[in-house]
Amino acid sequence: MLYAITATVFVAIVLLTWAAIYPYLSRRSVIEDRLEKFAPKEVNKVELTTEAPKWYDKLSQLGSVVRFSPKEQTKYTKMLVAAGYRKESVFVFFGSKILLTCALPGAYLFFYALAKGGTFNNQSLLIAVILAIIGYLLPSYWLYHQYNERQLQIFHTLPDVLDLITVCVGSGLSMDAALIKTTETPQFANDPLAKEIKIATMETRAGKPRIESLRDMAERTMVDDVKAFVTMLAQTERFGTSLSQALSVHADSLRTKRRQIAEEAAAKTTIKMIFPLVFFVFPALMVVILGPAFVQISKIFK
């Protein structure tokens, strides 16, 4: 019996140790990740548009039944587009809000009725109302999260994209060719900013002026730095200044802004650490330090 317990403990320790060090052993280096981004990937020539699932159409129909205010609908439409979704997804978004508002309290009341024999009290009704509010706000919270994540990704990618555009323009390419070359780079294959630039170049090929296409791109992304980039291009074309120099200066300013944001976030960590220290670390230290003394004092007064 002792040998079985020893073997079990040994196996458990080995498994826990392996689980702890496996992420570090399987983690790839930064150089390998960067080389993989530059490696050419196979792209299918023919892309078929998949049919939307049935639940997507059902949610869209449910969202189109209930009429929201035009101001709220316009607000959520812009946020969905900035988060990387189509304008038609706003009805699916409204449908999900209605569905969760009814489903969460309905499921709670159903299981509560099964457990209590069909009787409800004020507390259960209050919880159902709270669940309905949570169900209504949950899609909005998810949308805000997607919107902020995409904006942050575009903000961090913009200086690198501007550097590549600067190199292309300095090598003799036009602005349109530089934008197309940037979107074809494997490093920015799945980047949201590269996708937006690709849409703008397609609109330019279709006959739309380049500045208008880029302004529409800035409106879709709702990123202030992208709007500043488009304004800089418009002023450069109007006054005839050096495009490569303007791009390099703008990229340096964005990189400086990104470094300042990182320094600000690092400076805030000291204040944010106060609450975990006060509520979690200091009480444990007080128990460890004063615990033995309290035991000895209690023994004296017995």
Q: Tell me which of 123, 148, 173 is where a domain ends.
A: 148
Q: Tell me which of 148, 178, 200 is where a domain ends.
A: 148
Give me the pLDDT at residue 145, please: 92
In a shared domain, residues 157 and 123:
no
In a shared domain, residues 171 and 107:
no
As a whole number, mean pLDDT of residues 252-257 equals 87
pLDDT above 70 (res 40): no
DSSP assignment of the chain: -HHHHHHHHHHHHHHHHHHHHHHHHHPPPHHHHHHHHHS-----S--PPPPPPHHHHHHHHHHHHSPPPHHHHHHHHHHHHHTT--TTHHHHHHHHHHHHHHHHHHHHHHHHHHHHTS---HHHHHHHHHHHHHHHHHHHHHHHHHHHHHHHHHHHHHHHHHHHHHHHHHTT--HHHHHHHHHT-GGGTT-HHHHHHHHHHHHHHTT--HHHHHHHHHHHHT-HHHHHHHHHHHHHHHHT--HHHHHHHHHHHHHHHHHHHHHHHHHHHHHHTHHHIIIIIHHHHHHHHHHHHHHHHHHHT-
As a whole number, mean pLDDT of residues 280-297 equals 82
| Residue scoring higher pLDDT (7 or 176) | 176
Q: How far apart are CA 36 and CA 58, in angstroms?
A: 40
Q: How far apart are CA 105 and CA 241, in angstroms?
A: 62
Give me the pLDDT at residue 64, please: 77
In a shared domain, residues 161 and 132:
no
CATH number of the domain at 186, please. 1.20.81
pLDDT above 80 (res 53): no
Which tokens is 55 given? 């639940």
As a whole number, mean pLDDT of residues 188-203 equals 87
Q: Is residue 28 part of a domain?
A: no
Among 145, 147, 166, residue whose Cα is nearest residue 155:
147
Give me the pLDDT at residue 144, please: 92
pLDDT above 50 (res 49): no
pLDDT above 50 (res 153): yes
pLDDT above 80 (res 48): no
pLDDT above 80 (res 161): yes
Measure the CA dihedral 72/76/82/87, to 10°. Answer: -110
| Residue scoring higher pLDDT (207 or 54) | 207
pLDDT above 50 (res 52): yes
Q: Are 77 and 87 in contact (CB under 8 A)?
A: yes
Confidence label for 45 from pLDDT (cuts 50, 70 and 90): very low
pLDDT above 50 (res 46): no
pLDDT above 80 (res 154): yes
Q: Is residue 179 part of a domain?
A: yes
In a shared domain, residues 139 and 155:
no
Q: Tell me which of 122, 148, 174 is where a domain ends.
A: 148
Q: Is residue 87 part of a domain?
A: yes
pLDDT above 70 (res 6): no
In a shared domain, residues 126 and 181:
no
> Could you list the residue range(s) of the whole structural domain that residue 79 is in?
55-148
In a shared domain, residues 130 and 163:
no
In a shared domain, residues 99 and 141:
yes
Q: Is residue 282 part of a domain?
A: no
Confidence label for 172 from pLDDT (cuts 50, 70 and 90): confident
According to the per-residue pLDDT averaged within each range, which of 1-5, 8-12, 298-302 is highest? 298-302
b or e along 49-83 (b: 16 or more beta carbons within 10 Å of the residue's beta carbon)? eeeeeeeeeebbebbeeeeeeeeeeeebbbbbbbb
In a shared domain, residues 177 and 254:
yes
Q: How far apart are CA 67 and CA 57, in angstroms?
A: 17
Q: Is residue 297 part of a domain?
A: no
Q: How far apart are CA 134 and CA 121, in angstroms?
A: 20
Q: Are 203 and 284 in contact (CB under 8 A)?
A: no
pLDDT above 80 (res 84): yes
* pLDDT per position as a tens digit, 91-142: 888 888 888 888 888 888 888 777 776 667 788 888 888 988 998 899 899 9
In a shared domain, residues 88 and 126:
yes
As a whole number, mean pLDDT of residues 238-243 equals 82
Q: Is residue 299 part of a domain?
A: no
* pLDDT per position as a tens digit, 269-279: 888 888 888 88
In a shared domain, residues 257 and 155:
yes
In a shared domain, residues 121 and 166:
no
Q: Is residue 206 part of a domain?
A: yes
Q: Is residue 61 part of a domain?
A: yes
Number of domains comprising the chain: 2
Confidence label for 247 from pLDDT (cuts 50, 70 and 90): confident
In a shared domain, residues 164 and 131:
no
